[in-house]
Amino acid sequence: MKTNILNRLRQLGAALTLTATLAGCGWVHEGITECPAQLRLKFVYDYNMKFADAFPAEVKSVNVWAFDSQTGAPVWSGAASGAELTPEGGYIMETTLDAGTYDFVAWCGLTEGSALKLATYQPASKQELEVTLQAAQEETRLVSDTELPGLYHGMVSAYTYAPDVTKPDYQTVTVPLTKDTNAVRVLLQNLDGREINPADFTVEITDANSMLAWDNAVLAGPTVTYTPWEVRYGSVGTGTPNAQTADASRAEISTVATMLNELSLSRLIAGQESWLTDTQHRRTAHHPHTAHRLSAAHQGALRLDVGSGVSRPSGRLLDPLLHRRHQQLVYRLGHLHQLVGCRAAADRLHLIT
């Protein structure tokens, strides 16, 4: 009886060992197969005013390269676009990388026909992954007057991939993205109700930010003049409380002529001088020409500093706030703007980024 019990225990132990082995990574004639392992990439764009991952909604293409962290040599690259980026459950890019330590560089949003050009898609080193804005040569200056598609940069350095050989191991690297392109809207208002003739005004932004390095730094390069890719004008009615009326809730309705200039430009960074210039071609003593320095304010908005060409110190911008712009960066407490008075308060100039 005792012998039977011991034999049964031995058989049970052998069965449990076999089960554990088979449940590991498979059984072949002479041993255990390699456990499946893979390194994957997940792209996230939550560095924005939406406070949510906007990657599925905004990013239209992905190009990413992996470099050996020790030698700097390229070892793998991947690309995807369109519907590939919006599967159910989110987009994950699979790689064929073996164990090692890698640097990843991603440029997202590059499209054929865009004015933003990548130097090469087959780099010998990550330093070759530069993006340049192709501006048009007009006489003595470079001009960009097109709407730039959203350009995003991502980077992960020295990620060590060491899969566990004893069990299936799928590791996911999160690549955070930063948006480099900016939409700037400049609104000119005529408060006395007269119409604004678009031919009478010119709005421009100048900045030497047309060349971006592999690590997203702004490289030294020529100054580019950004002009509106679209200009809209018309008139709107505004309500102004009338202190003369008995009913304070009543308002006087006035008509304000407006001209909205939409500009699209490359990366803005703290410490880099950008200038907004609005010129009235029919010059008067009140408003012949005004230049404003675009700078970064504490609140994360782009501020207009009225100047005479002399740079003024500006508030220090915390890096996370630099990229939280695009429509909501100018205070966003209802309808607040950065305001500059022009022509004896008859005109108003707003910067809406």
Would you state the pLDDT for residue 205? Answer: 92
CB 107 within 8 A of CB 123: no
Q: What share of the chain has pLDDT > 70, as a percent?
A: 64
DSSP 3-state of 278: strand
- pLDDT over 50 (residue 252): yes
Place of tokens 């991502």: 154
- Which of the two residues, 28 and 296, has the higher pLDDT score? 28
pLDDT at 236 over 60: yes
For residue 129, pLDDT beyond 90: yes
pLDDT digit string (tens) for 30-53?
555 678 889 999 999 998 888 899
CA gap 353, 350 in Å, rounded: 10
Question: Rounded to an integer, what distance in angstroms lies between the CA atom of residue 306 and that of residue 143?
Answer: 23
Q: What is the mean pLDDT of residues 11-27?
A: 48
- Is the per-residue pLDDT at 19 higher than 60? no
Provide the pLDDT confidence category of residue 330 given band limits of 50, 70 and 90.
very low
What mean pLDDT is predicted for residues 305-327? Answer: 31
CB 45 within 8 A of CB 59: yes
Which of 103-117, 240-254, 261-275 is predicted least confidently? 240-254
What H or E segment, with its residue span, contains residue 6? helix 2-24
The residue type found at 168 is P
Mean pLDDT within 276-294: 55
Give the pLDDT confidence score for residue 239 in this predicted structure: 58
Say whether pLDDT at 235 is over 80: no
Q: Tell me which residue has tokens 């865009």.
A: 114
Q: Tokens 């009326």 — which residue?
A: 245
Which is higher by pLDDT, 254 or 339? 254
Q: How many CB atoms lie within 10 A of CB 341?
A: 13
Per the confidence metrics, is the pTM higher than 0.75?
no
The partner residues of 226 in beta bridges, in order of sequence, read: 144, 205
Of 263, 106, 113, 260, residue with least CA distance to 181? 263
